[in-house]
Structure 1
Amino acid sequence: MIITVFTFTVLMYVFLVKYHDPVVRPLPLTGTYDSVNGGFGSAPKFPRPVETQLMLYHSKKMRDSGKGARADDGSQMVYFTLQYMAKGGIHDHVGGGFHRYSVDEYWHVPHFEKMLYDQGQLVNVYLDAFAITRDLQYSNVARDVLDYLRRDMIGQEGEIFSAEDADSAETEGAARFIFHNNSRRSKNLKQKKVTTFRG
């Protein structure tokens, strides 16, 4: 049986609502919240989109049940995390999409690998945040990820790639680089003139 991430998230939410006290549920996740940099846990720091989306759903449920103050705490954790991830190096500001994780706790230094499943889950979370807040920063990030998927993760014959490897070299020990052409760099940096460093 094939189950989508969204379906899994909804099923987990239904299970938690039915079988657990709503005040107790978020504690394991909120206990690892990084109030300085956003996200949960420390380095290496993963986006954890399923847990983040679940926290967003849980906050809505608490708000609907009259526990607005506690709901606002959870949703603010989610919004803060999404904003810091979008600003950080884990978000590829040139090529689009998100890298798999950050090697530091600040979201600055990415592990240069992109997974298809991360992109889809993160699009869902950013679109949910947009649906709730109507803040365009969230829909812009989702659009960026979708543009990346359409451009780089679909092959010429319609095949869908599952990942981009962290290594660009063909042989072990060779130099590894990420290359972007000048037209893409200019578009993303919003500059009229871009000079390329050749060293």
Structure 2
Amino acid sequence: MNQAFESIAVKVITEEGFPMAVGGICLPGTGTYWEERFRQLASLCISNMDIFNIDYALARAIQNIADESLLIAGCSLKAGIELAYGESTGGVLGCPRETICSAPGACEPLPKGFSMYTTAGGPGLAALADQAETERAAVAVRALEGAITGEKIMDCMRNAGIDTYLLVFDGTGLGTHGCVVAASPGKSTVVFL
């Protein structure tokens, strides 16, 4: 089942001065292309800073640059707003050619053998694994205690036996981690905000 997909993740600063981590899983030979395309998202301006519109604007921006070579994409944004305790936003994940929707709190199949688990507050995980494996891994990452580090996340994913994935944490709100982890065989990139 494991095909040679590429993973990428980059950090950009938006025109509004907000740090954003953007990542994806793409077809072989397109990683450098997607690094360059993701950097174009630095021009993003979000007109209405509420918890719904931030995520919608992020997802829409990714859809606007996506083509068939980008299988999975996600990003985390640290917007300069304060939210009530327990509220978070600024994290999106999905197949960029699918309809934009809120995190269903469930695991769903995606093309090319991927599945995705998303839930409000995250993290969201898209992995080259079956739905049960993806959900177990996402729940295990969510249960990590103490400071979240790239090493803790990657250990959790190694223990789950998953080597190709995109993991996204919300970037805005109290207690959010603002992180994107993109991994494929032989390569892992962790971007914290």
TM-score (norm 1): 0.27
Determine which structure has the larger helix proportion and give its number.
1
Q: Which has the higher contact order (CA 8 A, sep 6+)?
A: 2
Determine which structure has the larger strand proportion and give its number.
2
TM-score (norm 2): 0.27
Q: Which has the larger radius of gyration?
A: 1
